[in-house]
Amino acid sequence: MTNGYEFLLFILAIITTWAMYLQLYGKPNPFYSFAQATYMGASFGLDLVVTFLFLYTSGFIPITKGDVFMALGFVLGFATLLRLTKRYAWVSRIPLAIALGTGLGLGIRTQIFAGFLSQIMSLITPFAVPSDAMTSFYNISIVLSTLFMLSFFLYTVQREGPIGISSQIGEYALYIGLGAYFAQVFMGRAGLLVGYMQNITTPAWKTPYSLGIGVLMLAIVIAMDRYGILEKLSD
């Protein structure tokens, strides 16, 4: 088992979990409204504390150790807040411009290789791999699918003749790709659900509380719906 404080936390977690899932009931309900507001408040508070700690450890402490350059970051950060004033709002554009320029510079330098050149290079593979028919098939299908799909995105020519056929095949390849992507998304979401269900039923002593609270909350929502007070009490 566990101590009283942890048990209380567990019960609170279970209530908010089921409250969130009760959105699936299909109508607004007070449990969901409560859980939503709690989540928003808690995540904002967490963000605030964690970001403040980051500023302290990565900004303030280096300054106290003599890295005065770090103070520039605080000055720029403060300048961003000047957006709230009418008179000095223009100053806030300076840190924004620096952040934008830095981000762009850092991103473009590496994106050219990782997102473009290397991706093209990865397509340059041998079509026929001796004694490995599957790899040969994969290599050929990847290269052909890429070419067909690229022809689907040609907007400056009429899709007729060979280009038309190629773009049509490209369109089907795109649908197959979207199907695979959708399946991966479904797998991921199912993984989240299964993982959380394991969390609320492991160790075994949690199971009766988890299921009991879930059934009770669902029953309350159904009863409230029956008596017409469900939506009145919701946000």
Residues that bind other proteins (CB under 8 A): 21, 24-26, 43, 46-47, 50-51, 53-54, 57-58, 61-62, 65, 67, 99, 102-103, 106-107, 110-111, 113-114, 118-119, 121-122, 180-181, 184-199, 201-202, 207, 211
Nearest CB to other proteins, comparing residues 85 and 184: 184
CB of 60 to other proteins, least distance (A): 10
Closer of 24 and 84 to other proteins (Cβ): 24
- Residues 18 and 221 sit within 8 Å (Cβ to Cβ): no
Nearer Cβ to other proteins, position 54 or 172?
Answer: 54
Question: Which CB atom, from 85 or from 207, has the smaller least distance to other proteins?
Answer: 207
Q: What distance in Å separates the CA atoms of residue 147 and residue 139, rounded to the nearest whole number?
A: 13
Alpha carbons 187 and 175: distance in angstroms, whole number: 18
Cβ–Cβ < 8 Å for 14, 210: yes
Instruction: Report in angstroms how near the CB of residue 105 gets to other proteins at its nearest.
Output: 10
Q: Give the Cα separation of 45 and 32 in Å (integer).
A: 20
Say how far apart CA 157 and CA 163 lie, in whole Å.
9
| Nearest approach, Cβ of residue 53 and other proteins (Å) | 7
Pick the closer one to other proteins by CB: 21 or 34.
Answer: 21
Tell the smallest beta-carbon distance from residue 184 to other proteins (Å): 5
Measured from the CB atom, the residue of 25 and 34 that comes closer to other proteins is 25
Q: What is the DSSP string of 108-162?
A: HHHHIIIIIIHHHHHT---S--TT-HHHHHHHHHHHHHHHHHHHHT--SS---HH
Tell me how far apart the alpha carbons of residues 204 and 25 are, in angstroms, rounded to a whole number: 27
Minimum CB–partner distance for residue 95 and other proteins (Å) = 12
Q: How far is the CB of 175 from other proteins (least distance, A)?
A: 15
Query: What distances in angstroms separate CA 138 from CA 57, 142, 221, one per listed residue?
Result: 49, 6, 52
